[in-house]
Amino acid sequence: MAFLAVKLLPPLLLTILIELSVGILLGYRKKVEMAAIVLVNMVTNPLLNYLVFLNNHFSFIALTQPIIGGLEFLVVLAEWGMLVFALHGKPKPLFGLSLAMNACSYIVGVWIYGAH
């Protein structure tokens, strides 16, 4: 279990740092908004990274760029839905927020960890 924590915690913390920063830059500065950004990432990031870890271990499928892109888009949709639910906000701006946050964290993640 400690092994998984070592594998999952650094990307989670990096993602929270990046996506919270993007949220703040885009004007989401209320405590409830920042808490929602952190919480949705605590759900989606470990889940996605665990699935990638399992796939890399058991070689279920080849993680091509289109598959990674699809998984990332599913994360955008999931986070968008959770943000709309948590913040009772307008869907369109929150979709833009989710897309911007995830694009930034994906780019930085690829830069630091390399492509899957």
| Tens digits of residue pLDDT in 42-94 | 999 999 999 988 998 898 888 888 888 999 999 999 999 999 999 999 999 99
pLDDT for residue 63: 82
How many residues make up the chain in this entry? 116
Domain count across the chain: 1
Taking residues 29-52, report their average pLDDT: 96
pLDDT for residue 116: 57
Secondary structure letter of residue 27 according to DSSP: T
Question: How far apart, in whole angstroms, are the C-alpha atoms of residue 85 and residue 40?
Answer: 11
pTM for this prediction: 0.91
Query: Does residue 36 have a pLDDT over 60?
Result: yes
Lookup: tokens for 52 = 């990638």
The residue range of the domain holding 60 is 2-113
pLDDT for residue 105: 96
